[in-house]
């Protein structure tokens, strides 16, 4: 229930029968006589659906901004964990406990109630209910699910990598003599293939187009990474293959967001510059969202949007202008950095290849508008500093 506090005398208005917003403009504080405009939102029931980085970041930020908000975080999984380190669980470089993003007692110490293993059956926006849980404000951080296209292969051979359960299943069934193919050459596909070489002798990747990791790498950068991968017994194949020749096919062809009835949806849940959806008091953040036609699908953006959604819900003051497309990752042990419009072939372009290092900088009117760097962190940081200065 929403509660409002008088700034003059700290009287708290709480009345389930007459919400504060429905009071007449002439309402006065019964203690000090201050008018309605002197009241601030003091406490309310905030429900966050989604236990990924967007949802967790929203919960932590909301608590930071208001110690009185009642916060419930609903997850359809059994733990709050670091999804981007699932790859390390495949390679065996981390244990299950090391994968946990926060220990259970941390969120508890913030007075955040976490509800685990709950699949939402009904969103009742009119009555502000998520199944049987009442909310005043709701943040949708429901993420996305793996997209598995129609493939000419036995379905029993298909594996995905999105959740802990997926990785547990993969580690259980794939033996060291298995012949494995990864379909999809984005960041996840490349990382999965490299991690799998710790389990099997070699891995093939089936890629579309003319490069791997096309959102983060130029063609020359892709060529260098392919050479690195070959040294790790990962073969990239740009032609079609017979998937039935493999024991297992790991599908990494992107994700899809599920729509929710009554929420405006295109490829994702559409949000405005205040992280709001088309329904009052419902916000969204992370991989499930679409802002001005963009879906980012990046951990850093999901974290940023989660915090911003909480800020908008709690303080009701925010102006989101989209996130900058910036990636700094380590793929198969290789550092990759990209920012902005690096794929442009017009303007002032500087492109350098030195053995296993590569960078490309695109400038316009003397300013960096895009860049990509492979295997050179110092160069990447110099470029990022200049890019941010504009």
Q: With 80 as the cut, is the pLDDT of residue 32 above it?
A: yes
**Domain end residue (candidates: 251, 273, 295):** 251
> Does residue 322 sit within a domain?
no
Residue 169 lies in a domain: yes
pLDDT at 128: 96
Q: Check residue 257 and give its pLDDT.
A: 94
Residue 342 pLDDT grade (very low, low, confident, very high; cuts 50, 70, 90): confident
Average pLDDT on 60-71 reads: 95
pLDDT at 130: 98
Element containing residue 146 per DSSP (H, E): strand 145-146
Return the percentage of the chain with pLDDT > 90, whole number: 72
Q: Which of 251, 283, 306 is the C-terminal boundary of a domain?
A: 251
Bridge partners (DSSP) listed for residue 4: 13, 41
Residues 137 and 270 in one domain: yes
Nearest to 167 by CA among 150, 147, 188, 187: 188
Lowest mean pLDDT, pick from 74-78, 113-117, 325-329, 378-382: 325-329
Count of helix runs (H) and strand runs (E) in the chain: 9, 25
Indicate whether 51 and 30 sit together in one domain: no
Residue 216 lies in a domain: yes
Give the mean model confidence (pLDDT) for residues 119-145: 96
| Domain CATH code at residue 25 | 2.20.28.10
pLDDT, one tens digit per residue, over 305-321 is 999 999 999 987 788 98
pLDDT at 326 over 90: no
Is residue 30 domain-shared with residue 73, that is, in the same domain? no
The secondary structure of 290-308 as a DSSP string is: EBTTB----HHHHHHHHHH
Rounded to the nearest angstrom, the gap between the alpha carbon of residue 150 and the centroid of all alpha carbons in its chain is: 25
* 176 and 32 assigned to the same domain: no
Residue 138's CATH number: 3.50.50.60
- Exposed, middle or buried: residue 280 (CB in 10 Å: 0-12, 13-18, 19+)? exposed
Residues 27 and 35: beta-carbon distance below 8 Å: yes
Same domain, 138 and 184: no
Give the model's confidence band at 226: pLDDT under 50 very low, under 70 low, under 90 confident, else very high. very high
- From the list 75, 15, 18, the residue with the least C-alpha distance to 50 is 75
Question: Dihedral, CA atoms, 129, 51, 286, 336, nearest 10 degrees?
Answer: 180
Residue 110 lies inside a defined structural domain of this protein: yes
Q: Is residue 328 part of a domain?
A: no
Does position 324 have pLDDT exceeding 80, yes or no? no
Instruction: Note the pTM of the prediction, 2 decimals.
Output: 0.88
Residue 239: both structure tokens together: 């032609």
123-124/129-130 β-pairing:
antiparallel
Cα 329 vs. chain centroid, distance in angstroms? Answer: 14
In a domain, 321, yes or no: no
Residues 56-67 have a mean pLDDT of: 95
Can you list the pairs that 279-284 forms with residues at least 24 positions away whose Cβ atoms lie under 8 Å? 279/125, 281/128, 281/135, 281/136, 281/137, 281/138, 281/313, 282/125, 282/137, 282/138, 282/139, 282/140, 283/137, 283/138, 283/139, 283/140, 283/309, 283/312, 283/313, 284/139, 284/140, 284/141, 284/309
The better pLDDT of the pair 345, 157 is held by: 157
Residue 204 and residue 235 in contact, taking contact as beta carbons nearer than 8 Å:
yes
More confidently predicted of 78 and 327: 78
70 and 129 together in one domain: yes
Query: What is the pLDDT, as a whole number, of residue 86?
Result: 92
pLDDT given at position 97: 86
Q: What is the span of the domain harbouring residue 20?
A: 3-42
The total number of structural domains that make up the chain: 4
DSSP 3-state of 22 = helix
Q: Is residue 326 part of a domain?
A: no
Position 146 pLDDT exceeds 80 = yes
Q: What is the pLDDT of residue 334?
A: 86
pLDDT of residue 189: 94
The domain boundary, picked from 196, 218, 251, lies at 251
């Amino acid at each position: 229930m929403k509660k409002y506090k008088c700034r003059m005398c700290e009287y708290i208005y709480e009345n389930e029968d007459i919400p504060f917003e429905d009071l007449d403009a002439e309402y006065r504080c019964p203690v000090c006589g201050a008018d309605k405009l002197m009241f601030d939102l003091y406490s309310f029931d905030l429900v966050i659906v989604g236990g990924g980085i967007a949802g967790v970041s929203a919960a932590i930020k909301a608590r930071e901004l208001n110690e009185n908000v009642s916060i419930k975080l609903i997850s359809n999984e059994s733990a709050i964990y670091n999804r981007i380190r699932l790859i390390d669980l495949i390679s065996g470089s981390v244990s299950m406990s090391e994968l946990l993003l926060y220990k259970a007692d941390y969120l508890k110490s913030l007075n955040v109630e976490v509800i685990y293993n709950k699949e939402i059956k009904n969103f009742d926006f009119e009555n502000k209910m998520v199944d049987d849980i009442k909310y005043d404000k709701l943040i949708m951080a429901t993420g996305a699910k793996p997209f598995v296209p129609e493939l000419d292969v036995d379905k029993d051979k298909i594996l995905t990598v999105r959740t802990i359960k997926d990785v547990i299943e993969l580690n259980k069934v794939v033996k060291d003599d298995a012949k494995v193919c990864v379909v999809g050459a984005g960041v996840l596909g490349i990382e999965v293939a490299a991690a799998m070489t710790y389990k099997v002798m070699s891995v093939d990747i089936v890629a579309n187009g003319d490069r791997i990791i096309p959102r983060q790498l130029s063609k020359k950068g892709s060529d260098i990474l392919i050479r690195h991968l070959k040294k790790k017994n990962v073969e990239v194949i740009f032609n079609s293959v017979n998937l039935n020749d493999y024991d297992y096919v790991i599908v990494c062809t992107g994700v899809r967001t599920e729509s929710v009835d009554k929420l405006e949806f295109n490829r994702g849940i559409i949000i405005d510059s205040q992280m709001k959806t088309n329904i009052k008091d419902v916000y969204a953040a992370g991989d499930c969202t679409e802002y001005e036609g963009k879906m980012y699908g990046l951990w850093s953006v999901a974290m940023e949007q989660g915090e911003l959604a909480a800020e908008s819900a709690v303080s009701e003051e925010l102006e989101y202008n989209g996130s900058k497309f910036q990636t700094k990752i380590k793929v198969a042990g290789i550092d990759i950095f990209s920012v902005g419009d690096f794929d442009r072939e017009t303007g002032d372009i500087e492109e350098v290849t030195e053995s296993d290092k590569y960078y490309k900088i695109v400038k316009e009117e003397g300013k960096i508008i895009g860049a990509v760097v492979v295997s050179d962190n110092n160069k990447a940081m110099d470029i990022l500093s200049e890019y941010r200065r504009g």
